[in-house]
Structure 1
Amino acid sequence: MLESLMRKFTFLGLCIEIMTDAISLSKLSKLQRHNVGNMKDMISELPEGVLLYILSFLPTKDAVRTTILAKTWRYLWTHLSVFDFEVFCHQHGSKPKQKSENRLINQVDNLLQRSNRVERLCIKVRGTIDAQKATSLLSNTLLHKVPDLKLSIEIEYINDMFVLPNSFSASQSLNNLYLEFDFNLNIGDDICFPSLKTLYLSHICFVNEKSAQRLLSGCPVLQELTLFRCSLLNVKQINVAMSALRKLTIEGLGLGYPFHNCTIKFDVGNLLSLSYTINPAINFFLVNPTSIVDASIHLRHLYQQNEQLHIQSVIELLSRLSSVKTLSLSNYILQCLNYAKDTLHLLPSFDNLMHLDVFLDYFRTTNEALASILCKTPKLEVLHINKGSSLFFDEGWTSNSLPCCLKSSLKLCFISNFHGNEDEIRSVQFLLENATVLEYINIFCSEYLSLNLEELADVRNQLQHLGLGRRCIIKLQ
């Protein structure tokens, strides 16, 4: 092991010296004639900054192992600024698991006591750890003013309660926090994140309305918030004002038993980017959403028995996003709109929309909804269609009923997962004939088409024939 590490460091050290012109070509030639086993330990004589630069390329566990190399290396790893700990706690037998937990906690404590320059700390526990140990681990990191903290752990029992340490209220230096675990999370009265700018919560269950409200309200300068597959228990209403928030991502937000409707209101007067997966059981309201530039809206599943509820949620949310410049819609959203043909007139005109990203399904059920949206995007310049195997524009359009964006603004069209079937070829022809200012059509082949070279050549010839004499460039890749 020692010889292997020395070989790695010898190579890295030589590379650094070459880049900084620290050694001459003659010295390099001399070093190459010696075997690692009998050469002088020149790596340990390098300046500390260079040695730390070498260590920064290694995983934390390998950086810690360098303590056996020589006296110079004994505590060198503690002077790094980024650490990534990962430990596996055995699930069979309490003694091995407890030993792993204690070794992890002691290792982190040792690091924090010796170093005052930790900028980013990642701790991932594979296996299980009880809530009390997790609380202790988090408290220790906060006391040492770590600005960027990521903690990903599993729990001993699904009903374990994790109480956020009160030391959070004194954590003036914490800028980025990532928490991922299945604990039931309880938030105390005095919790506050005075300097927190990024908060990522994954698989966390808020046990009551107060906990969710306190946590989200206790971030006065938060700029980016992500809630990934989190749950709300006994939560009926949350009202949060986050004036500094610029990016909001909510995916898979659910309600625990007993099931009930929940209302969440975000007052986000300066929000720029929104990514939201709709849960019809949650009434999601955006207050002052006019600043949003980029929105991505998804529907996780579409159940026909809840069709009306889905439609209402989609229409209401899109109506608040009329000012966006970039919009991405999933295939379930388009299916939902297609079911609501009688209510499509309720959709707003997206007067500022310049980039539209849509995902079509394997059938034609979403194309009519897409056509309706195009009629409400007068300034659209870029259209990206990510599809299954169906793409077919409405042949019933007349010159007077064509969306105005086709005639006056659409310049770029991207089509992904292109199979080259008859409907798709006809859709490309439709675009060429009706999108009068279109400059480029970039087509990305499906895996099926890419592997069938003969069929690919035929599709390429058809597209080239369609493009003859036209100013629009068709690119198949």
Structure 2
Amino acid sequence: MVLSKRWSLVWTMVPKLEYKDTRKEGDKSVWCLLDKSLQLHKATVIESLHIQVERQFCDDADVGKCVSYAVDHKVRELALILPSQPKILQLPSNVYTSKTLVKLTLSCRTLVVDVPSLPCLPSLLTLVLLNVVYKDQNSHVRLLSNCPALRHLEVQRNKSDNVTRFIVKVPSLKSFTYMQIDERAARSFVLDSPGLRCLTLGDPYGDLDSIQNMPHLEWATVCHFLPYPNDNKFLRSFSSVRILWLTLTEAVAIRFQDLPISWNKPSSVPVCLLSHLEIFVWTEFGGKRQEREFVAYILANSKCLKTVRTSPSYYLKKKEKEKKMEEFKSMYRVSASSQLLLCTKQDMWI
């Protein structure tokens, strides 16, 4: 790339920097360009630095130096989206004490989150941690507890993640996305964020019994297969929601066809069913006893229900699908005005 003298001067003052190298092969690396461009950069403030690389680094790549430069220049948004590397990567310590960072995105399987004893990110509103590794069991706790303004958190975990008990206690948090598909039973998840309004939880095999204190939750999507959580406590955690999407049986149909679905009737009806729930969707209805009991309980106690959508299990034959849909249709609905829609899986969300 060649720039005229006029534009070369303008380029050194741009506040938003984005470097992307999507090539899978090649000798030249974006890091050489990045290092030279930062040396020539003259802006006193860097509004954002976004680095995305899809192949392993060369030996002279200095990620820490680039990140440290951006933090020293009061960067507000920082994103590192990197592939796994042959050596461990660490962020410079000034990242964890930045007073200007508003959004931080980290994605790399060999990036170690090594939080110092006294971190402080007073302006951080959005934190995205995708497939990173933590130095110890409390690194993420120290990080989250020192983000007093944090409103949006996204966490995606993989098998390299060494934390066995992931704790999220952030009073200021408004939206939270948590995804982890590791089948190791030793992992557990603790959520205690009273200000939370939106929750997306994809933890098919984890321990979800420690979800609590969400009085303002309005919207939740939950994907959980086995083992099932303590049902009474689990449902009560979502008693304030207006929209609740539950995926509880699909994995049973796909991977555990001989195992029964476990569900126990709560001792009292959750408030969300009595006074909030308006739309109920159940995909892949197979008609097993526990499925029927669960659906019957929802329909019999949801007084504000307006719409019910369901589709038969993909694994049933045509006549069996028709039979199961008739069973669903015959269930008592306390909300007599509610509309029942029997759909195929393809038009469930139309």
SS at match of 2:229: helix
Give distance in 2, aligned partners of 1:179 and 1:147: 14
Alignment of 1:373-452 (within 5 A): 373-385=298-310, 390=321, 392-394=325-327, 397=330, 402-405=332-335, 407-408=336-337, 410=338, 417=344, 444=347
Q: Please say which structure displays the higher CA radius of gyration.
A: 1
Aligned partner (choices 208, 216, 231) of residue 291 of structure 1:
216
Bigger relative CO (Cα 8 Å, ≥ 6 apart): 2
Does residue 323 of structure 1 match 2:244? no
CA offset at residue 240 of structure 1? 4.2
Residue matched to 2:249: 332
CA offset at residue 196 of structure 1? 0.5
Residue matched to 1:127: 55
SS at match of 1:216: helix
Amino acid at match of 1:101: W
Aligned partner (choices 191, 197, 203) of residue 278 of structure 1:
203
* Aligned-residue RMSD, C-alpha: 3.6
Give distance in 2, aligned partners of 1:284 and 1:445: 30
Q: Which ranges of structure 1 fall in alignment gaps of 5 or more residues? A: 1-64, 420-443, 447-476
Residue matched to 1:106: 36
Residue matched to 2:81: 152
Give distance in 1, aligned partners of 2:329 and 2:25: 64
Residue matched to 2:101: 174
Q: Which ranges of structure 2 fall in alignment gaps of 5 or more residues? A: 254-258, 315-320
Deviations 1:2-52 (A, max 9, x none): xxxxxxxxxxxxxxxxxxxxxxxxxxxxxxxxxxxxxxxxxxxxxxxxxxx
Amino acid at match of 1:339: I
Deviations 1:127-161 (A, max 9, x none): 0137972323322221211111211012322xx33
Residue matched to 2:131: 203
Amino acid at match of 1:178: T
Question: Larger deviation: 270-279 or 236-245?
Answer: 236-245
Give distance in 2, aligned partners of 1:169 and 1:395: 54
Retained in 1: the 8 A contact 2:283–2:345?
no
CA offset at residue 319 of structure 1? 2.9
Question: Larger deviation: 162-171 or 379-388?
Answer: 379-388
Retained in 2: the 8 A contact 1:86–1:125?
yes
Give distance in 2, aligned partners of 1:122 and 1:361: 41
Deviations 1:142-187 (A, max 9, x none): 1211111211012322xx3333321024311110111111125222
Alignment of 1:252-267 (within 5 A): 252=180, 254=182, 261-267=186-192
Amino acid at match of 1:154: P
Does residue 83 of structure 1 match 2:17? yes
CA offset at residue 378 of structure 1? 1.7
Aligned residues: 331
Amino acid at match of 2:261: Y
Retained in 1: the 8 A contact 2:48–2:76?
yes
CA offset at residue 393 of structure 1? 4.9
Residue matched to 1:433: none
Give distance in 2, aligned partners of 1:279 and 1:375: 27
Retained in 1: the 8 A contact 2:284–2:345?
no
SS at match of 1:361: strand
Aligned partner (choices 277, 281, 284) of residue 358 of structure 1:
281
SS at match of 2:62: helix
